[in-house]
Structure 1
Amino acid sequence: MDFSGKDKATYVQETFNAIAGHYDLMNSLMSLGMDKRWRRLAVQQVGAKPGMSILDVCCGTGQFSMELGKTVGSKGKVTGLDFSQKMLDVARQTLAETPDMHWIEFMQGDAMELPFPDNSFDGVTVGWGLRNLPDLRKGIREMARVVKPGGKVVSLDMAKPSFPGFKQVYWLYFEKLIPLMGQIWAKKASAYQYLHDSALEFPAQQELVKIFAECGLENTKYINLAGGVVAIIVGTKPKFY
């Protein structure tokens, strides 16, 4: 993958800063509006309940954090962390326009070095973020570190469909049409070419559950959505970690 002479972290940060204003629109277009349902399913998988404290890593424009906030309620807490200031600006604007969701907080930070003590959260989520990390395993280990024993780490991200015929059509759509849509609506075809390239290089869901286990999580599983185009990956921190 060509990062134009920059390291991956810098390239990703600049890319998401550039598309922040159109990011939610593009997500809806690319997913045909299914992204909202996918986030709700991921909230269920992390086991979010009223009163819980949840960390949303790589929170972007805050859509996942907002969905979590609806579930944990005013007695809970959702912390959304991202290193793109422009994405956080959109998240905070959305939060300001939402009736009383004061239990959601957005902050800038590095997923490689989460600024929280061990065992701080009841659950940790990451939506479309793992493939952007410069060190996948280090990022997962950090999430496992800050979740409480018995708590879950849940990823929602692009996956690799396996059905013959369907997977070829999917990758053709992703390679050709998504960058074109990015150029039309976000004026940034290169950013959406990166989304294709990063999804192509990202481990398949079957491999990702093994990586979750390597990083100290147990009872790992994946749940395919939309025929395996997207997958939820779940791992639980052992009670005696």
Structure 2
Amino acid sequence: MDFAGKDKATYVKETFNSIAGRYDLMNSLMSLGMDKRWRRLAVQKVGAKPGMHILDVCCGTGQLSMEIGNVVGPEGNVTGLDFSQKMLEVAEKSLRQVSNPAHIRFIQGNAMELPFPDNSFDGATVGWGLRNLPDLRQGLREMARTVKPGGKVVSLDMAKPSLLGFKQAYWLYFDKLVPLMGKVWARKASAYQYLHDSAREFPAQEELARIFTECGLKDVSFNNLAGGVVAIVSGKKP
């Protein structure tokens, strides 16, 4: 993958800063409006309940954080962390439209070195974020470290469909149409070419589940969504 002579972390930060204002619109367009339902399923998978404190890593514009907030309620807390200031600015703007925002906070930080003590959260989520990390395993270990024993770590991300015919049509769509949509709607075709390339290189859901186990999580499973285009992978901290 070409990072234009930059390290991955710098390239990713600059890329997401550049598309922050149109990121939610593009997500909705690319997913045909299914992204909201996928986030709700991820919230269910992490086991969020009223009163819980959940961490949302690589929170971006905060859409998953706010879905979690709807479940944990005012007696709970949600901490969304991202390293892109522009994405967090969009998250804060969206948060001001939430009826009870006091229990949701967004902070800028590094997923490779989460600024929280061990066993701080009842669960942790990451939506479309693991593939952007310079070290996927380190990111997972950090999430597991900050989750209490018995808590879940949940990833919602692109996956790899295997059905013959559908698989080829999907990658053709992602390779040709998504960058074109990025050029038209977000005025940044290169950013959406990166999304295609990063999805190509990201481990398939079966392999990601094995990495979860390798990082010390147990009872690991994955659930395919939209024919395996997207998958939720989850594991529990012993």
TM-score bracket for the superposition, by shorter chain length: over 0.9
In structure 2, the residue corresponding to 1:6 is in which secondary structure?
Answer: coil
Please list the CA deviations of residues 33-69 of structure 1 after superposition, one character each: whole Å capped at 9, or x if unmatched. Answer: 0000000000000000000000000000000000000
Instruction: Give % identity.
Output: 77
In structure 2, the residue corresponding to 1:110 is in which secondary structure?
Answer: coil
Matches within 5 A, 1:179-194: 179-194=179-194
Post-superposition offset of 1:158: 0.1
1:153 corresponding residue in structure 2: 153
Please list the CA deviations of residues 100-143 of structure 1 after superposition, one character each: whole Å capped at 9, or x if unmatched. Answer: 22100000000000000000000000000000000000000000
Post-superposition offset of 1:86: 0.1
Return the letter of the residue paired with 2:31: S
Partners of 1:11 and 1:2 in 2: how far apart? 10
1:162 corresponding residue in structure 2: 162
User: What's the RMSD between the two structures over aligned residues?
Assistant: 0.3
The list of structure 1 runs, each at least 4 consecutive aligned residues, that deviate by more than 4 angstroms after superposition, is: none
Partners of 1:163 and 1:231 in 2: how far apart? 15
In structure 1, the residue corresponding to 2:47 is in which secondary structure?
Answer: coil
2:176 corresponding residue in structure 1: 176
1:98 aligns with 2:102: no
2:66 corresponding residue in structure 1: 66
In structure 2, the residue corresponding to 1:221 is in which secondary structure?
Answer: strand
In structure 1, the residue corresponding to 2:101 is in which secondary structure?
Answer: coil
Partners of 2:98 and 2:34 in 1: how far apart? 21
Matches within 5 A, 1:21-170: 21-170=21-170
Return the letter of the residue paired with 1:184: V
Post-superposition offset of 1:170: 0.1
Partners of 1:97 and 1:228 in 2: how far apart? 33
1:203 corresponding residue in structure 2: 203
Post-superposition offset of 1:97: 1.8
2:233 corresponding residue in structure 1: 233
Please list the CA deviations of residues 188-237 of structure 1 after superposition, one character each: whole Å capped at 9, or x if unmatched. Answer: 00000000000000000000000000000000000000000000000000
Return the letter of the residue paired with 2:209: V
Partners of 1:97 and 1:50 in 2: how far apart? 21
Partners of 1:100 and 1:27 in 2: how far apart? 25
TM-score, scaled to structure 1? 0.98
Post-superposition offset of 1:98: 1.7
Partners of 2:153 and 2:93 in 1: how far apart? 27
Return the letter of the residue paired with 2:113: E
Partners of 1:89 and 1:46 in 2: how far apart? 26
Give the number of equivalent residue pairs. Answer: 238
Which blocks of at least 5 consecutive residues in structure 1 are unaligned?
Answer: none
Which blocks of at least 5 consecutive residues in structure 2 are unaligned?
Answer: none
